Amino acid sequence: MISIEGLSKIFTSNKKQITAVDDLTLAIKEGGIFGVIGYSGAGKSTFVRLLNRLEEPSSGRVIIDDQDITAMNSNQLRLARQEIGMIFQHFNLLWSRTVKDNIAFPLEIAGVPKAERERRVRELIDLVGLSERENAYPSQLSGGQKQRVGIARALANNPKVLLCDEATSALDPETTNAILDLLVDINKKLGLTIILITHEMHVIRKICRQVAVMENGKIVEQGDVLDVFLRPKQQVTKKFVEQVMGTQDENEGIQDLINAYDHGKIVRLHFIGETANQALISQVAKKYKVDINVLQGKITQTQAGAYGTLFVQIEGETEEMDKAIGFITKTSVEVEVIRDVN
């Protein structure tokens, strides 16, 4: 468990105080992938750097594995950081060193014997899929390969926590997906806790089970990813959900569809998890004397399951339509009748 209590960071610039992180309190479960999302200036990068004291907090505590990181002296902190790996947006590799030498660097600093270093580097090169590039220099690598080196280096000392600060922001979409798949694989194989900082909701959707939304240095919303997708409360969260669900365009276009029908009920269905994969529409059509016309819909996958919205027109006798809607409701699908033109 990572416990963050009343964490704040105040910078002074031109005799003015700027609060980058504002009295932030958060609990992160051990062994999961936790996402922190926010727009530029929200304070998320400062927040993640406070976790390993690359930035010194103005107040508050960070407790990782029952150790108060914020109370440590420099020697204690140096040892504690060996259990907190970090990867960066722009890789931060040593350009004069090869892939294997970059990965070995933190082991050298930690005083690990040469034979053990070489064994560990070989394990990590295989883990991140760079077995044929170990003697290459960073200038000879693609962006995705550089980030794989960064990940391997961050894992060198067998950390319990991996901090990822915009780790995919400099990568193209295909490479981003490959790096995210690698992080999921590492999480499963090694069981370490990953805290992922991003401004892209599709990154959260793909690999995180829990998410916290930052705005103006504060956590304004948090919870399971599926819950946040289904019921975003804050305006900033709704904007992020629109990135991957296209709900703004959906809402603008659906009204034209609705207006084209002058009979039956127009219903919006929200479904998550297993219900997203069930043949629900065909079940209802077989069970009740109704006709169902799918107007528009979209499903997206998250790490915890599918989430989707479906607009349908239901036609039939009023009693049969009500029975059909009642049946759908009992399946845990959320039902909203948005137009009744009987």
What does the pLDDT look like over 226-235, one tens digit per residue? 888 878 899 9
Mean pLDDT of 245-258: 59
Domains of the chain: 2-240 (3.40.50.300), 246-340 (3.30.70.260)
Would you state the structure tokens that stand for residue 55, as one six-digit string?
Answer: 């930035």
Q: What is the pLDDT of residue 235?
A: 93
- Is pLDDT above 90 for 85? yes
Q: How many CA atoms lie within 13 A of 314 on its CB side?
A: 31
pLDDT bucket at 305, cuts 50 / 70 / 90: low
> In terms of pTM, does the model score above 0.85?
no
- Is pLDDT above 70 for 158? yes
Beta bridge partners of 166: none
- Is pLDDT above 80 for 105? yes
pLDDT bucket at 164, cuts 50 / 70 / 90: very high
pLDDT bucket at 280, cuts 50 / 70 / 90: confident
Report DSSP letters for 219-232, one per residue: EEEEEEHHHHHHS-
Write the CA distances from 233 to 7, 228, 248, 342, integer angstroms: 24, 8, 15, 33
Q: What average pLDDT is seen over the chain?
A: 88
* Residue 157: Cβ within 10 Å count: 17
Residue type, 213: V
- Is pLDDT above 80 for 123? yes
Q: What is the pLDDT of residue 330?
A: 85
Q: What does the chain come to in residues? A: 342
- Is pLDDT above 80 for 103? yes
Q: What is the pLDDT of residue 21?
A: 96
What does the pLDDT look like over 51-76, one tens digit per residue? 999 999 999 999 998 999 999 999 99
Mean pLDDT of 194-208: 92
Handedness of CA 164, 161, 46, 56 (dihedral sign): negative
Helix runs in 73-195, H state only: 74-81, 99-109, 114-127, 143-154, 173-190
The more confidently predicted of residues 236 and 280 is 236
Q: What is the pLDDT of residue 282?
A: 84
Handedness of CA 8, 62, 102, 147 (dihedral sign): negative
Residue type, 204: I
- Is pLDDT above 90 for 124? yes
Which residue in this structure is represented by tokens 């997206």?
A: 300
pLDDT bucket at 329, cuts 50 / 70 / 90: confident
pLDDT bucket at 311, cuts 50 / 70 / 90: confident
Residue type, 53: R
Q: What is the pLDDT of residue 250?
A: 54
Q: What is the pLDDT of residue 336?
A: 85
Q: What is the pLDDT of residue 144?
A: 94
Would you state the structure tokens that stand for residue 17, as one six-digit string?
Answer: 């105080």
Share of the chain residues as helix, strand and coil, in percent rounded to the nearest 5: 40, 30, 30
CA dist 48 and 68 (Å) reads 16
Mean pLDDT of 188-214: 93
